[in-house]
Structure 1
Amino acid sequence: MAETPEMSSSRPYLIRALHEWISDNGMTPLLLVDADAPAVDVPRAFVEDGKIILNVSMSAVQGLELGDELIQFRARFSGAVKQISVPVTAVLAVYARETSAGMMFPETESDAEQTDEAGAEADATNSDTDTQPDDKPSRPHLRVIK
């Protein structure tokens, strides 16, 4: 069997796409961030239970950069401008404030890898023609794509 080439994480691409989708629909994009992850630079006074929600709408931030490795921008917190820096791997979700439509991500890349491995094992043992007792077709399953 040929070896599958290694691909980069899809997380930064999905973050950018969801940000654009939410914004294009006139809603407010929010990031749920693991504030305790390495290299996260956010105002600690706004962290609750190790997480922070950041409004990343164009009207709320200045200089927004949604990079492949890092998300950076300036925003006001209690009237003071702060430089925010969040590694893409620390983003747990991107969603619209108004509807909660969006996407959650695994807390770590290794969580995604474990899910992928479990999915690959399931794919190897299941097929579309598998049946369960009473000849019910097997339920489809979702696989996390990193």
Structure 2
Amino acid sequence: MDMISNRPYLIRAIYDWIVDNEWTPHFQIDANYPGTDVPQEFVQDGVIVLNAHPSAVFATSFDNDYFSFKARFQGIERTIHFPPEAVLAVFARENGQGMPFPPEPYPEGFEEDVSDEKKPALKTVESSKDSTEKTVEKAKQKKKPTLSIVK
């Protein structure tokens, strides 16, 4: 009998650790992985990075076979779902601490559905870590929105 994957357990553990440290958890997702439903307009090079902080998402469900939550993108509520196999990394925005995951091969029968140029390149853990660090740097460089009170 095959053991169930440890991937969803590790993802949840790192996510909880990031939240417990009062950081902002982000998921780096293979947007083309079968069963993944994410806003395609925010996908770059087959990958999307999602802010999954409890204050930014709701109706969360991190089950062993499927993760889902609702979030707002440009003010529009969207339901996001993806299998744990689609997760390429979970990390804290503030410092990049977290864990990269090796890309999972697509299940049989799905390989031909996604052209090679749409798939994220298969990377080693180190190159996934480098990619995650670059994503974190870009997030840090973006100016955060502010609220101005007008009287």
TM score, norm. by length of structure 2: 0.68
* Deviation string, structure 1 residues 67-91 (Cα, Å, up to 9, x no partner): 1011100000010000101111100
- For residues 43-58 of structure 1, the aligned pairs below 5 Å read 43-58=39-54
1:35 equivalent among 31, 36, 39: 31
Instruction: Tell me what 1:25 maps to.
Output: 21
Residue 144 (structure 2) aligns with: none
Identity %: 47
In structure 2, the CA distance between the partners of 1:43 and 1:51, relative to structure 1 (3 Å rule), is: same
Write the mapping of 1:1-146 to structure 2, written as runs, cut at 5 A. 6-108=2-104
Query: 1: CA distance between counterparts of 2:40 and 2:73?
Result: 11
When the two chains are superposed, the root-mean-square deviation of aligned CA atoms in Å is 1.2
Residue type of the partner of 1:104?
Answer: P
Please say which structure displays the higher CA radius of gyration.
1
Gaps of 5+ in 1: 111-146
* TM superposition outliers: structure 1 runs of 4+ over 4 Å: none
1:133 corresponds to: none
1:104-142 deviation digits (Å, cap 9, x = unpaired): 1110168xxxxxxxxxxxxxxxxxxxxxxxxxxxxxxxx
What amino acid maps onto 2:17 in structure 1?
W
Q: Aligned pairs, how many?
A: 106
Q: CA deviation at 1:6?
A: 2.7
* CA-CA distance at 1:46 after TM superposition: 0.4
Q: Determine the C-alpha separation between the residues in 1 that align with 2:90 and 2:84.
A: 11
Distance in 2 (CA, whole Å) between partners of 1:34 and 1:104 is: 12
Q: Tell me the distance in 2 between the aligned counterparts of 1:70 and 1:109.
A: 17
Alignment deviations for residues 13-47 of structure 1 (CA, whole Å, 9 cap, x no partner) = 00110010000000000000000111110111000
Query: How many Å apart are 1:9 and its aligned residue?
Result: 0.6
